[in-house]
Amino acid sequence: MTHLVAKKKPAVFLDRDGTIIELKSYLRSLDEIKLLPQAAKGLKILQDAGYLLIVITNQSGVARGYFSEEFVQEANIKISELFAAQDVSIDAFYYCPHHPDYGNDKYRQDCDCRKPEIGMIKKAVFDFSIDLSNSWVIGDNVPDVRMAINANIKSVLVKTGYGQEVLANYPKDLKVPDIVTNDIYDAAKLITSRNGESR
């Protein structure tokens, strides 16, 4: 018997709100979903360069009772349809519906998936064959950068969403991201131009 072992692919772990879609404080209706300008162009560059596109998002609005888990799933389907219309296919969405202080027994917990914890990355690594050493995290907020550091993955902070605010009040204890850039499109260009560079 021979075994074909899938070649590991690098991934970009994409934050959702403020990174690939417009930031709304607790998005509650599908009509509010707007892709950020050039987000599809950026993801297309990454996809064509061989990166898996994996969305990793904290959705504590579920624990807080602002919307249901079903709504998060519907929103993710809508987002993947909007990207598909521009020839981009998102490989997977992972979300954390929990919060340590809010919600019923199901959702109020110190889980291991809420960013900056790395449970969602671990789940993705279980589901896909991922080359973590060449993977990236792209996000607009502190937990995204912290998760990247906790998982020992390179990070990009984009200035969309909360990005500008984060840069203005950057936590003293936090290592600077590998790349700080305007948006996901610029991030894609910079990541692909670094291809092959060792860490």
Cite the active site residues. 15, 17
- The least distance separating Mg ion from the CB of residue 105, rounded to whole angstroms, comes to 27
When CB distances are held under 5 to 8 angstroms depending on the partner's kind, the choice from Zn ion, Mg ion, none that residue 114 binds is Zn ion
* HEC per residue, the chain: CCCCCCCCECEEEECCECCCECCCCCCCCHHHCCECCCHHHHHHHHHHCCCEEEEEEECCCCCCCCCCHHHHHHHHHHHHHHHHCCCCCCCEEEEECCECCCCCCCCECCCCCCCCCCHHHHHHHHHCCECHHHCEEEECCHHHHHHHHHCCCEEEEECCCCHHHHHHCCCCCCCCCCEEECCHHHHHHHHHHCCCCCC
- The least distance separating Mg ion from the CB of residue 145, rounded to whole angstroms, comes to 11
When CB distances are held under 5 to 8 angstroms depending on the partner's kind, the choice from Mg ion, Zn ion, none that residue 99 binds is none
Nearer to Zn ion, 143 or 194 (CB): 143
Binding mask 148-187 for Mg ion (x = CB under 5 A): -------------x--------------------------
Q: In this structure, are residues 47 and 91 in contact, taking their beta carbons and an 8 Å threshold?
A: no
**Phi, then psi, of 86 in degrees rounded to 5:** -110, 25
In the complex, which residues of this chain contact Zn ion (CB under 5 A)?
96, 98, 111, 113-114
Nearer to Mg ion, 117 or 140 (CB): 140
Nearer to Mg ion, 10 or 161 (CB): 161
Stretch that binds Mg ion, among 11-19, 119-127, 150-158, 180-188 (CB under 5 A): 11-19
Stretch that binds Mg ion, among 35-43, 96-104, 136-144, 146-154 (CB under 5 A): 136-144
Q: Which residues bind Mg ion (CB under 5 A)?
A: 15, 17-18, 140-141, 161
